Amino acid sequence: MYIGTSKLTHTYWPGTPFAADALKNISFSVGQGTFTLLIGPSGSGKTTLIQHLNGLLKPSAGEVYFDGKKIGPDKAALLALRRRVGLVFQMPEDQFFSETVFDEIAYAPRNLGLDEKKVEERVNRAVAQVGLERSRLLDRHPFQLSAGQKRRVAIASVLSLEPEVLILDEPAAGLDPEGKGNLLNLLSSLNRAGKITIMVSTHHLDEIAALADNLVVLNEGGLVMSGKTKEILARGAELKELGLALPQVTGIMHELAARGLPVSTDIYSLSAACDEILQAKRADQR
Amino acid sequence: MSGGISLGHYLPGNSFFHQLNPRIKVPSLVIILATLFAVTSFPALLTMIVLVFLMFRLARVPFRYLLKGLRPILYIALFALFIFLFFTKGGVVLFRLGPLTVESAGLWQGLFVITRLVTLVLFSLLLTLTTTPLSLTHGLGYFLKPLGRIGLPTEEVVMIMAIAMRFIPTLIEESQRLMRAQVSRGADFESGSIFRKAKNLVPLIVPLFVSAFRRADELAMAMEARGYRLGAKRTRLHEDVITATDWAVLLVVLVMLAASFYFKL
Ligand SMILES: Nc1ncnc2c1ncn2[C@@H]1O[C@H](COP(=O)(O)OP(=O)(O)OP(=O)(O)O)[C@@H](O)[C@H]1O
Ligand SMILES: [Mg+2]
């Protein structure tokens, strides 16, 4: 398995009256080059799970794997792991501390001990990857940027590690619809063109579902289901029970099917929905 | 919210001691500490130890919390014992090491002093384990009130302390989160010289300050929106009443203090 966990359990504050199982017995795996969505309501354990995947948190029980190897406590191995698995935190712009955008993005490669020339190359590449190469903001103060730009800079400041896996914790939180759209394009191109394995946590299934190969659904620390996007979205009723909204398009398809139009309900992109409805209509008229 | 865990002390519960009024608990602790300094005999001191252990039982505090609470004074206690052993003379010579001797008076006094120290810490621990930082602050604030007469803004001081208490766990949590975030970006907070380590802290401290100031700003705004004014008379949501049990506890500790003086225990 490329990335995965086996019977992962995590308890915060073990051995105190505050002890709480944030994750219970989670087993899942995803393949290299895939795009995975981690969905679950607030407090379901998404952040906790994600922080195990690059060794920031240690399992209370069970194992975490990356590239076929178990993630252990060895310090050198952990450093190597964190170079390969980049993690973008929830509200990542809260971490900004540099005086210029350049320094912010250069932080990670400088930590790797690269020389300034290589650092600059990496910064430029990361800036291009997030689509900010033409906005000339490298010399600006990070706090002067717009929310969408800040989010991109935050992502660039992890991409400059040149990881092969990029994990993002609620990357769309707090962005306006346009910023959200840009973000989705960015993630899609990183995955398709950049060949980066991507994992995104969200509590809002929407346009982003169209990008995902796999869904992993969490609720109250437990794994509810995981598998191909199509298969999971077909189980809309179960998702709704968890208080998770279906993507709008999928919702409409479920509605249409319920009212007697013979359409399939595992559809989550707009174009596929159009085709399906037209086809059903034609069949109906005949 | 992790509610006060990070302060390391308060242990939620609803035992007898959890329910005592902090306005009684605080002075009671002071009186007990005075008693501890007043007693000079081993039997009296041992009675106090037995008492504090019984009280911990009653408060249902697991034993390891006592050990954890005592750990910080381990070295002080050992150091004190060492000083008494070698420098207090009197009684029979127990042990000779070159020019140094250990005499019985030193041993007894050393043991007495560290036992007193441990008991003192245990009583204080009982207070902090069974009282939320917030009600402790209000308890202390009550005794600051007379200072208001000479112009000290006691209400405000208590408010500042209460807010600080409230935000300590938040800041600790925030700094842990930031530390993880920067570690994900290749930061290393553990190795290197002291100078390097200090420099490495910049990516932690700057965002921490930024968020602390933002939080302070938001809080001030929210308080004003709800009508907070300096110097205004305020009432509290949970008016604490001092019950008969509270008075009884205060009476018991006063009797203890009086007895220790009167009988020269
Ligand atoms: N540092 C912590 N200490 C104690 N409990 C925690 C801590 N972090 C998270 N928890 C608890 O663990 C559970 C899972 O939290 P987690 O942050 O992983 O959820 P989440 O799915 O990321 O939620 P959200 O969508 O709100 O970000 C929650 O019940 C939370 O209260
Ligand atoms: Mg989260």
Q: Is the per-residue pLDDT at B237 higher than 80?
A: no
Collapse the DSSP code of A122 into the 3-class scheme (helix H, G, I; strand E, B; otherwise coil) and give the result: helix
Number of domains in chain A: 2
* Rg, chain A, Cα only: 20
| pLDDT tens, position by position, A162-215 | 999 999 999 998 888 888 888 999 999 999 998 999 999 998 888 888 889 999
Residue A88 maps to a domain: yes
Of all helices (H) and strands (E), which one includes residue B149? Answer: none
Q: Which residues pair with A24 in a beta bridge?
A: A222
Instruction: Decide: A22 in ligand 1 pocket, CB within 6 A.
Output: yes
A90 with A172, same domain? Answer: yes
DSSP B242: P
A153 with A272, same domain? Answer: no
A137 with A14, same domain? Answer: yes
Which of A10, A21, A48, A205 best tests ligand 1's pocket when mutated (most atoms within 8 Å of CB)?
A48
A218 with A260, same domain? Answer: no
pLDDT of B3 reads: 36
Residue A183 maps to a domain: yes
**Residue A185, domain CATH:** 3.40.50.300
| pLDDT tens, position by position, A12-43 | 988 777 788 999 999 999 999 999 999 999 99
Residue A235 maps to a domain: no
Q: Is the per-residue pLDDT at B8 higher than 80?
A: no
**Residue type for position B132:** T
Is residue A210 a contact partner of residue A230, using CB atoms and an 8 Å limit?
no
A204 with A268, same domain? Answer: no
Residue A197 maps to a domain: yes
A101 with A220, same domain? Answer: yes
Q: Provide the residue ranges of all domains of chain B, joining segments of one domain with +.
A: 1-152+241-265, 154-230
Cα separation, B66 vs B126, in Å, equals 9
Report CB contact under 8 Å: B206, A97.
yes
A177 with A265, same domain? Answer: no
Residue A20 maps to a domain: yes
Which residue range forms the structural domain that includes residue A216?
Answer: 3-229
Complex prediction ipTM: 0.87
Chain B: residue nearest A159 by CA?
B185
A95 has a chain B CB within 8 A of its CB? yes
Residue A182 maps to a domain: yes
Report CB contact under 8 Å: B5, A112.
no
Q: Calculate how far, in angstroms, residue A223's C-alpha sits from the geometric centre of ligand 2.
A: 16
Residue A220's pLDDT band (boundaries 50, 70, 90)? very high
